[in-house]
Amino acid sequence: MMRKLLFILLSVFTLGVSAQAPKPKLVVGIMVDQMRWDYLYRYHNRYVAGGFKRLLNDGFSCENTFIPYTPTYTAAGHASVYTGSVPAFNGIVGNNWYDRSLRRSVYCTEDSSVQTVGSSSNAGKQSPKNLWANTISDELRLSTNFRNKTIAIALKDRGSILPGGHSANGAYWFDAASGGFITSTFYMTALPQWVADFNAKKLPDTYLAQSWKTLYPLNTYVQSTPDAKEYESALPGEDNTFDHSTEAITKNKYESFKYTPAANTYTFDMAKAAIKAENLGKGSFTDMLAVSFSAPDYAGHAFGPNSIEIEDMYLRLDKDLADFLNYLDVSVGKGQYLVFLTADHGAAHVPGFLAEHRLPGGVVDDAVIARQLNESIKKDFNLTNAIEYAINYQLYLNEAVLQQWGGDRNALKHYIIQKLIQYDGISQAFDLSTLGSFPLPVRVKSMVENGFNQKRSGDIQFVFKPNWFDGGTKGTTHGLWNPYDAHIPLLWYGKGIKKGKLYRQVYMTDIAPTLAGLLQIQMPNATVGEVIEEVLQGSKETIKNK
């Protein structure tokens, strides 16, 4: 009898220990803005041992991670990673969208009710007000009754605010007017002293003075197109040729700074300063640091995926990543932190580059399309400005005009759709209100459905042919369903993670629920993603509780 009682007590104790398995002291979410999945391997032989290779060799890589919605833009990507949800439910349908009630384009994090903190510019009039859902960072705060800390950092406001969620202790972004990190009164009324001290160092000036030279001899960049192609845009205030003499830029120099690899180094500098000053990973509860690296996106848009600028950007980012991981080893403790690294989207090849190699691709201007369609509608239906706005590969019909007209709305939509598919770069166009009956491939239809938000999306959507996009003839962009935009890296490293690779398809929206499982907390309140069980299998305590 006594032996049986001891067995029961021991069993209860063991289950209790398993349920309260040690958690990481710090979770670091790293998002690289505009990182195509293939960049992990395209430059692999030139990466150092301690950066991307450390995460790949000693961590867990989800090799087929995709974005499950369209359009694939920066704000939507950051929101979806941290909410575990899609634009249909978290409300972030793009970087901008058209607001029918305001009759203007709305920016994803704009908030006129708050003020800039840390500068005299208007760049701080931002908050997470337009984000409908909780983030994993919010849920971590809730799980500790707000006794832990969440800090979010990025050059871009949306790259900081959306990951930080609604309850961040601090979200900081770069102000190109002042050349320092700022925030808004949504978070605080004055910058912490450590941020003010960091800004006082004027590190962007130091980095600009060094210019942007290639890390290795120019002729060794054999994975890239020769330098200074005519279809590349210029670095603002400079040109498209190495060396980029950033020390000579005087006008809007901090805007130019955002395009350089040094801006990544600067973001890491700020992350280290936050860890030290906020004592992240030193308390009784798991803290979170959300860091987004915006420079690859600025440079990617300007120069394209096959440029020497992008190859050099990633070789330098890799070295910075290695240095940062070493910093975490020392400041938090090796094996005491958890890192995930992913991206918000990829990028298409520059059409001019494709044309050089007889590969298909092209550009379309949706503003021109909307204007031409309105001219045709005026002629055939006697309606003026029937299309009110074009954005996110969608057309918004003018409700006031249509109500006054009182004609057959479906006939008008059919007319517009038939006109759209006559454009060379457009492969499909459809009425979003009847999407269920339109014969799209299941994968693409699912992405459109996940991206459709009844309150914020348009009426008619069009889909481009592969490697066609809305833009100009120089540089590139992103936003489409295609793998070059939607296939992203996802690496896990640190406490509770065993090394390995997963080749089944998973999604950006699976990151937050997987983190929730690892941290043993509630998943965000609009989560549609699923736990990636293979990642959790690195934790024996989790397996015991399954």
Catalytic (active-site) positions: 74
User: Taking a C-beta distance cutoff of 8 angstroms, is the pair 313, 296 a contact?
Assistant: yes
State how far the Cα of 459 lies from the Cα of 456, in Å rounded to an integer. Answer: 10
β-strand pairing of 180-184 with 362-364? unpaired
DSSP 280-292: TT-SSS-EEEEEE
In one-letter notation, the amino acid at residue 68 is: P
Q: Are 213 and 242 in contact (CB under 8 A)?
A: yes
Q: Which residues contact 120 (CB under 8 A, 6 or more apart)?
A: 177, 178
User: Tokens 């871009």 map to which residue?
Assistant: 156
Q: Encoding tokens for residue 259?
A: 């395009």
Inter-residue contact 374 to 419 (CB < 8 Å): no
Q: Which 3-state string (H, E, C) describes 85-149?
A: CCHHHHCCCCCEEEECCCCEEEECCECCCCCEECCCCCCCCECCCCCCCCCHHHHHHHHCCCCCC
- Which residues, including other chains, have CB under 8 Å from residue 483's CB and lie 6 or more apart? 66, 346
State residue 356 phi and psi, 5-degree precision: -60, -30
Rounded distance between C-alpha atoms, residue 153 and residue 99, angstroms:
28
Spatial neighbors of 7 by CB under 8 A, at least 6 apart, are none
Q: What is the identity of the amino acid at 167?
A: S
* Residue whose pair of structure tokens reads 């505009």 in the numeric block: 34
> Are 291 and 30 spatial neighbours (Cβ–Cβ below 8 Å)?
yes
Report whether the peptide linkage leading into residue 243 is cis, meaning its omega lies within 30 degrees of zero. Answer: yes
Cβ of 201: how many Cβ atoms within 10 Å? Answer: 12
Alpha helices in 251-307 (DSSP H): 253-257, 261-277, 295-303
* 3-state class (DSSP) for residue 488: strand
